[in-house]
């Protein structure tokens, strides 16, 4: 399906622009595609779902015990936030 895109303007701080550019380069995509993908991922049409986003340190990927400990430390705060 070929859709024609509408142009939308977005204002962000220069620091955010630089972060977007760095991530887009690492992923080998344009900044526009990166933003489209991020918006698509985080827009939620389901009313009965709350999204939780965690930034997991890269050094924990190979350390299952460390990752488990890190996640357990955040569990209570996430549960409390969702309850409120």
**Using DSSP, how many helices (H) and how many strands (E) does the chain show?**
3, 0
- Whether the pTM exceeds 0.75: the reply is no
Q: Does residue 21 sit within a domain?
A: yes
Same domain, 36 and 60: no
- In this predicted structure, the answer to whether residue 71 has a pLDDT above a threshold of 70 is yes
pLDDT-based confidence at residue 16 (cuts at 50, 70, 90): very high
In sequence order, what DSSP letters do the residues of 46-74 get, joined into one string? -TT---------GGGTT-HHHHHHHHHHH
Q: What φ, ψ does residue 54 adopt, rounded to 5°? A: -120, 135
Same domain, 78 and 62: yes
Q: Does residue 25 sit within a domain?
A: yes
For residue 16, the enclosing domain spans 12-43
Q: Does residue 1 sit within a domain?
A: no
DSSP 29: S
Residues in the chain: 84
Q: Does residue 76 sit within a domain?
A: yes
Same domain, 57 and 25: no
């Amino acid at each position: 399906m070929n859709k024609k895109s509408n142009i939308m303007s977005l204002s962000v701080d220069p620091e955010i622009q630089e972060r977007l550019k760095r991530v887009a380069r690492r992923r080998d995509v344009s900044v526009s595609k990166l933003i489209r993908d991020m918006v698509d991922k985080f827009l939620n049409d389901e009313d009965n779902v709350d999204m939780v986003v965690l930034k997991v340190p890269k050094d924990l990927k190979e350390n299952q015990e460390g990752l488990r400990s890190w996640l357990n430390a955040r569990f209570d705060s996430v549960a409390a936030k969702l309850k409120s």
